[in-house]
């Protein structure tokens, strides 16, 4: 009989430490090695090595004037890649497809509005199968 393990049992501690370190930058713009080591309860040497690795990959960068670290441009690139996949446009298309009646045709004069909070603008959406703009 094969025993199934919990997903948490497959966790790699070193990788988990990297993500814990990156998540510390959520509240602070720049953080030093000592402060990170204290927050994460890791040895300074381990924190320094993680930071050195992340620096070479562009996920963090060192402020040479303060010897503190901040998030690097690779984080932005990664966030933008996620954002492209989860954009409002993609979500709107899915929502419209679920709400649309299968037999009805969309006319150019018809509009679908998603009012934004505290704004009077509507979201414009292009449907994949229909060339007209929905406002």
pLDDT digits (tens, 9 = 90+) for 74-125: 999 988 887 777 766 666 777 777 766 554 455 444 455 555 555 555 555 4
In sequence order, the β-bridge partners of residue 68 are 63
From the list 11, 27, 23, the residue with the least C-alpha distance to 59 is: 23
Looking at the domain assignment, is residue 5 inside a domain?
Answer: no
Looking at the domain assignment, is residue 30 inside a domain?
Answer: yes
Q: How large is the greatest C-alpha to C-alpha distance in the chain, in angstroms?
A: 65
Q: How confident is the model at residue 132 (pLDDT cuts 50, 70, 90)?
A: very low
97 and 67 share a domain?
Answer: no
* pLDDT attached to residue 118: 54
Q: 64: Cβ–Cβ under 8 A, 6 or more apart, which residues?
A: none
Report the number of distinct structural domains present in the chain. Answer: 2
* pLDDT attached to residue 133: 47
94 and 127 share a domain?
Answer: yes
The per-residue pLDDT for range 15-43, each reduced to its tens digit, is: 999 999 999 998 678 999 999 999 999 99
* pLDDT attached to residue 116: 53
* pLDDT attached to residue 96: 74
The parent domain of residue 72 ranges over 12-76
Is the pTM higher than 0.75?
no
Looking at the domain assignment, is residue 2 inside a domain?
Answer: no
**Do β-strands 133-134 and 68-71 pair in parallel, antiparallel, or remain unpaired?**
unpaired
Taking the C-alpha atoms of residue 83 and residue 80, their distance in angstroms, rounded to an integer, is: 5
* pLDDT attached to residue 60: 96
């Amino acid at each position: 009989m094969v025993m199934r393990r919990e997903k948490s049992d497959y966790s790699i501690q070193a990788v988990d430490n990297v993500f814990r370190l990156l998540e510390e930058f959520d509240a602070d713009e720049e953080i030093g090695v000592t402060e990170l080591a204290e927050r994460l309860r890791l040895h300074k040497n381990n924190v320094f090595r993680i930071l050195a690795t992340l620096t070479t990959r562009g996920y963090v960068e060192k402020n040479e004037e303060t010897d503190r670290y901040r998030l690097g441009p690779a984080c932005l690139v990664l966030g933008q890649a996620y954002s492209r996949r989860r954009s409002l446009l993609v979500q709107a298309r899915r929502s419209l497809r679920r709400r649309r009646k299968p037999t009805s045709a969309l006319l150019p004069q018809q509009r679908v509005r998603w009012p934004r909070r505290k704004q009077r603008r509507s979201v414009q959406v292009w449907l994949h199968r229909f060339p007209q703009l929905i406002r």
